[in-house]
Amino acid sequence: MKTFEFKIDPLTSEEYYEVYLRGRQLLNDPHLNKASAFTPEERMSLGLTGLLRSGVSTLESQVQRSLEAFKRKPDDLERYIFLIGMQDRSEPLFYKLLVENLEEMVPIVYTPTVGQACLQMSHIVRRFRGLYIDPDNIADIDQIFQNIALPHVYLIVVTDGERILGLGDLGSDGMGIPVGKVSLYVAAGGLHPSVCLPICLDVGTNNERLLKDPLYLGYRKPRLTGSAYEEMVERFVLGVRRNFPDALLQWEDFAKHTAFKNLERYRERILSFNDDIQGTGATALGALITAMRIKGSRFSDQRFLVVGMGQAGVGNAMNIRTALREEGLSEKEIRARIFVVDVQGLLMEDDPKLEDPQRPFAQPRTTLEGWTLESSDRVGLEDVVRNAHPTALIGVTAKRGLFSESILRQVAKNTDRPVILALSNPTAKTECTPEEVAKATGGRGLLATGSPFKPLNWDGRQIMTSQCNNLYMFPGMGLGALVGHAAKVTDAMFLTASKTLSDMVTPEQREAGLLLPPMADIRAVSRRVAVAVAREARDSGLGRLVDDEQLEHLVAKAQWTPHFASYRPGPVRGGG
């Protein structure tokens, strides 16, 4: 049952919400609740007289009051609970506060604090957001979707909770991730909160801690696997296509063995992408493009070493391969420039443990001819650094200190400006720190990290470190694909998004060591990325045929700025 609709007055062109709730129901709806900001006219017409104190406040004063309360919270988890509670009470207020304090609050509503929250979600949950689809209700998927109170759904972020951040299988407690990603789509990308829907495919869990926890609220059975799991995902996707044919579906925090399969199976059937694979790689590629500009070099002149070949590692390798293809290299030449290391060491073509997504990047045995190895049984990280002479080192391993001083020094011997992307977060799991890179490279290293670091004073100058956060990529990608009416999300769209991201780094910022724009510019970044993606969709025959100026206008107009809209009463639906 819809609770409101977007309307435009045909006489005055005023934009307003036609509201179908009254009284307490209206105050309890987070999309619509304005609390003390309801005008006297709205209070009278919407059945609110006597339910509110007489004072009428502005959104700005509510933000000030909320920020004071936020800063009184004793730790980050309590701040997370406070912000989620605010989101459950009034979304315009929540997003106004978040947008004005992005750099401080993104680490609270998303990584790293959201990980702490997911570990305890069944113990701290107050209200349920989004939808939970499980094996017992999948047959009612159409009815579940029809029961949604939102006026229209354009964006769906879905997880099955099997690989939540670096925390593993958290079942339906992993719903904090889609909820957090939706928050970032709104705050950074500008999508309206009422068109975004977080979903958990609650297919069970193999986490014994959760199964034994009497407070766990998820589907209390072992995880679905095999054909039963695939059938449920298929029924879910078909339900999305039937009920939300214009929606973009973002796959989030699925385990590696299902993430790649779902991406390949559905990327041609439904507008969709996987942020862990494609978004991570595209953001890192943006940083690498900037590094090449600083170095005055081409990708084909470099040798890349990717350490950690899960979803993020494969995504990084795939995007580097795309950049090398654009420079005209053959597949053989590309393979000679990308080296990938996982738990078993350098991935080789004859490795029986090789997984299909890793296979295009595995090396033939002939590569090792002339190499000096510490052991004949395994080609380790130091072996690769010493023999392959990489000029760019990318880590997605969640192993603190993996990039040791000796490894960093060796990479620095291979090039005047070594490029280091230590992409694991939180800080406690980063492969190296800015200070360690500066020390090992004599301040010559070009660094981006997965966790935020403060500027480093080194040898009389200040070195800035970019946080290589997917927030630079997925909001703009989603917004551009939707505004551009893209039929599908392609590798070319991600490549153009990476180039656009790098274009926003000014010469002064590059001089200071930044490989990505400042986080404070994130809404402008999302707008530029969205325009570029919509343009690529159009030019490739996959999107709407409008000129560049109109695309820019449409993207700008699609970016919602948090505010309290005007309300007019509509017919009461389902009681009031």
Please list the active-site residues.
110, 181
Alpha carbons 172 and 162: distance in angstroms, whole number: 9
Alpha carbons 285 and 302: distance in angstroms, whole number: 14
Specify whether the CB–CB gap between 16 and 41 falls below 8 A.
no
What's the distance, CA 74 to chain centroid?
27
Strand partners, 457: 462
Q: HSE, CB side, 13 Å, CA atoms: give it for residue 553.
A: 5
Specify whether the CB–CB gap between 327 and 299 falls below 8 A.
yes
The type of residue at 565 is A
Residues whose CB is less than 8 angstroms from the CB of residue 462 and which lie 6 or more positions away in sequence, other chains included: 455, 456, 512
| Residue 550 in tokens | 């109109």
What's the distance, CA 524 to chain centroid?
17
The type of residue at 563 is H
Q: Is 189 helix (H, G, I), strand (E, B) or coil?
A: helix
Specify whether the CB–CB gap between 530 and 189 falls below 8 A.
yes
Alpha carbons 227 and 220: distance in angstroms, whole number: 20
Strand partners, 338: 304
Q: How far is CA 229 from CA 171, 204, 421, 540, in A?
A: 14, 10, 35, 34
Which stretch of DSSP H or E encloses residue 228? Answer: helix 226-243
Residue 572, phi-psi category: left (phi > 0), alpha (psi -120 to 50), beta (remainder): beta
Specify whether the CB–CB gap between 482 and 155 falls below 8 A.
yes
Alpha carbons 118 and 116: distance in angstroms, whole number: 6
| Residue 405 in tokens | 């001083």
Alpha carbons 336 and 364: distance in angstroms, whole number: 10
Alpha carbons 440 and 495: distance in angstroms, whole number: 32
One-letter-per-residue 3-state SS of 165-194: CCCCCCHHHHHHHHHHHHHHHHHHHCCCHH
As a residue count, the chain comes to: 576
